[in-house]
Amino acid sequence: MPMTSPLRNLHAQAEAEFTVFPPPGSVCAGDSEPVEIVETFGDLDLERAALATGAGLLDCPHRAVLTLTGADRLDLLDRVLTQNVGDLAPGRWAPAFLLNRQGRILADLRVIPLDDRVLLELHSAVAAAAQETLDGFIFTEDAAATLPPVDEAPLVLDLIGPGADAALSRTAGSVDWTPGPGERSAAALTIADAGVIALRDGGRHVPSLALIAARASAVSVYHHVLESGAGDGADSVRAVGWRAVDEQRVRARVPLHLMEFGSSSLPHETGVLHDRVSFTKGCYPGQEIVARMQSRGGAKQLLVALTMSDPAPPAIGAPLRQADEPESDAIGVITSAAAGTDREPAVALAQVRAKHAAVGTGLRVEDDQRAVLDELIGAETP
């Protein structure tokens, strides 16, 4: 039985349809335990419109929060993560990978320093393994990593869309984003008399805020955000499900852990290498592998974006072959896809062998659906 949200009864009363994350067929999920999430509240067009013109509120029970305490907490993280976090101050947050010694990705983290602790926000499927790995690096350090039991896990909500900032201001009052626009910022605020940590991701193509609240206040916080944005205007807030959010993500070409990359992936294969990895910091587990790949020209496979030949989305896990060699071996695999419309084709993200990953390359999916490779994700230099 998959893990469920503390808001499940509310969603069921709203006639939500449910699915699981990672979705069936995900090529990077491995043996991850699925978590039940809302797929849609019944009207995908309205959910898509909210994400495009206002704000959509997504319940994220597939996300978890680890807490690191002790005087040496940031120093420990700086020694084991791929990103510079030793001097990360409250008011900012940073993305980073936790790797094993073979350079494979154990977790994709958001590192959030507070005055007395550090929060590590990550997928629930890898949270226990991440805690165990961090514990293994604690010897004489004043540090401790804790993961609450499932029935005490914090609530994580995503507020997504061009109206997200306005919606949060109506809900919580003026928010002091210390680093300023375009930065990755964190702020402590109050919603419905409950303490909430808000994260702003100025680096994403899709305007996005994350809200982290105690499980005991889950219902009141969720209701308050929705009610403060009630209406039909551009600054309205609507409850949305995973399907509309994932379609928007794929169209924005934003890679996702356990979809585009997983426990067998190397940082150079993710499309977010330069966002998660510092090449100027000190040693960390797996750094030798990462540095060697960087100096020798990168990965054997790359994350790419595809434009399909028609509105039908390809299946996750579908193999890709060269368009002019229909009987050839597969050279890639679909990792995510978004359906098209009468006016635009479907799009997809895929892992493709590096030697075949050239913009303009024609590809063929099963059932003879055609695609054109139109972007190498994350190929730009930092």
* 75-116 pLDDT, tens digit each: 999 999 999 999 999 999 999 999 999 999 999 999 999 999
pLDDT score of 85: 96
Token digits of residue 329: 């071996």
* 234-282 pLDDT, tens digit each: 668 999 999 999 999 999 999 999 999 999 999 999 999 999 999 998 8
pLDDT score of 180: 59
Return the half-sphere exposure (C-beta side, CA atoms, 13 A cut-off) of residue 258: 24
> Residue 381: pLDDT band by 50, 70, 90 thresholds?
very low
Look at residues 163, 209, 162, 212 and name the one whose alpha carbon lies nearest to residue 184.
209
Q: What percentage of the chain has pLDDT greater than the value 70?
A: 95
Structural contact between residues 188 and 195, judged by C-beta atoms closer than 8 angstroms: yes
- Enumerate the domain spans of the chain: 1-298, 300-382
> Residue 201: pLDDT band by 50, 70, 90 thresholds?
confident
Residue type, 327: E
Q: What is the mean pLDDT of the chain?
A: 92
Compute the average pLDDT of residues 186-215.
90
Compute the average pLDDT of residues 18-31.
92
Look at residues 94, 69, 70 and name the one whose alpha carbon lies nearest to residue 84.
94
Quote the pTM value: 0.94
Q: Is residue 250 exposed (0-12), middle (13-18) or buried (19+ Cβ within 10 Å)?
A: buried
SS3 state of residue 189: strand
Higher pLDDT, 326 or 288: 288
Structural contact between residues 75 and 264, judged by C-beta atoms closer than 8 angstroms: no
pLDDT score of 1: 58
Return the half-sphere exposure (C-beta side, CA atoms, 13 A cut-off) of residue 39: 8
Token digits of residue 373: 């490779």
> Residue 181: pLDDT band by 50, 70, 90 thresholds?
low
Instruction: Using the predicted structure, report yes or no on whether residue 59 has a pLDDT greater than 80.
Output: yes
pLDDT score of 231: 66
Compute the average pLDDT of residues 64-68.
97
**What element of type H or E holds 218?**
helix 218-228
Q: Which fold has domain 1-298?
A: Gyrase A; domain 2 (3.30.1360)
* 327-360 pLDDT, tens digit each: 789 999 999 999 998 889 999 999 999 999 999 9
Instruction: Report the DSSP pairing between strands 144-146 and 63-69.
Output: antiparallel
Q: Has domain 300-382 been given CATH number 2.40.30.110?
A: yes
Torsion sign across C-alpha atoms 337, 340, 346, 349: negative
Structural contact between residues 251 and 39, judged by C-beta atoms closer than 8 angstroms: no
Residue 301 and residue 330: Cα distance in Å, rounded?
12
Look at residues 121, 117, 106 and name the one whose alpha carbon lies nearest to residue 144.
117
> Residue 63: pLDDT band by 50, 70, 90 thresholds?
very high
Instruction: Report the DSSP pairing between strands 362-365 and 118-123.
Output: unpaired
Instruction: Report the DSSP pairing between strands 319-322 and 301-308.
Output: unpaired
Compute the average pLDDT of residues 181-204.
86
> Residue 232: pLDDT band by 50, 70, 90 thresholds?
low
Residue whose token pair is 């955000």: 225
Expressed in angstroms, the distance from the first to the final Cα of the chain is 43
| Dihedral angle, C-alpha 197, 3, 259, 167, nearest 10 ° | -30
pLDDT score of 382: 39
> Residue 298: pLDDT band by 50, 70, 90 thresholds?
confident
Which residues are CB-contacts of 328 (< 8 A; sequence separation ≥ 6)? 321, 322
Compute the average pLDDT of residues 290-302.
90
Compute the average pLDDT of residues 128-154.
95
pLDDT score of 341: 87
Reported residue count of the chain is 382
CB-CB neighbours of 381 under 10 Å: 5
Compute the average pLDDT of residues 20-46.
93
Structural contact between residues 99 and 286, judged by C-beta atoms closer than 8 angstroms: yes
Structural contact between residues 322 and 357, judged by C-beta atoms closer than 8 angstroms: no
